[in-house]
Amino acid sequence: MLDHSVLVLNQNYEPLNICHVRRALTLLYQSRAEMLENGYGYIHTANRDVPIPSVIRLPYLVKRPYHIARKISRAEIYNRDQFTCQYCGKQTKQLTLDHVIPRYRGGQHTWENVVSACAPCNRRKAGRTPEEANMKLHKVPAPPQVSRYAYIPMHYMKQRAEWERYFPH
């Protein structure tokens, strides 16, 4: 039971991470957190019943980066584009990387200039810019968005019913 998971909220009520009951009880005992949800009942001691938290909140704001710069790679580009050709919109595993501004014309190998393209679109565009090839990008390429709760694995988020209200959809 001391190993059960406890959701830790930032001072602004945003989910911050997960800890064990053991750790949460220590934080509460030291007044370094407040309990928001008692999800596991009580620990019975000689003097009193100690509620077992399943959600606690820190009294101070923990600042953390929301956007983690990820290294650009073929797989990351395909994932960012959800395996969709950025020109014709076809979803396929048979993708190529396209430099929007061709490399030989100064185009960089960056999140902003590399997109997923199916082979026919890549051939059609060839060494031209989208404007020259009269091909329109589905969206402006950018670094991938990282979940605000990047430190909390997805499968944890639905672990306990009383946690759900703390994860806005």
**Would you say 140 or 161 has its CB closer to Zn ion?**
140
Q: Which of residues 113-152 bind Zn ion (CB under 5 A)?
A: 118, 121
Residue of 19, 28, 88, 133 that binds Zn ion (CB under 5 A): 88
Minimum Å gap between C-beta 142 and Zn ion is 20
**Would you say 123 or 158 has its CB closer to Zn ion?**
123
Minimum Å gap between C-beta 144 and Zn ion is 20
Instruction: Write the CA distances from 138 to 13, 32, 42, 121, integer angstroms.
Output: 36, 48, 54, 13
Residue of 27, 85, 95, 115 that binds Zn ion (CB under 5 A): 85
**Would you say 54 or 116 has its CB closer to Zn ion?**
116
Radius of gyration of the chain (CA): 24
**Would you say 18 or 85 has its CB closer to Zn ion?**
85
Residue numbers at the binding site for Zn ion (CB under 5 A):
85, 87-88, 118, 121
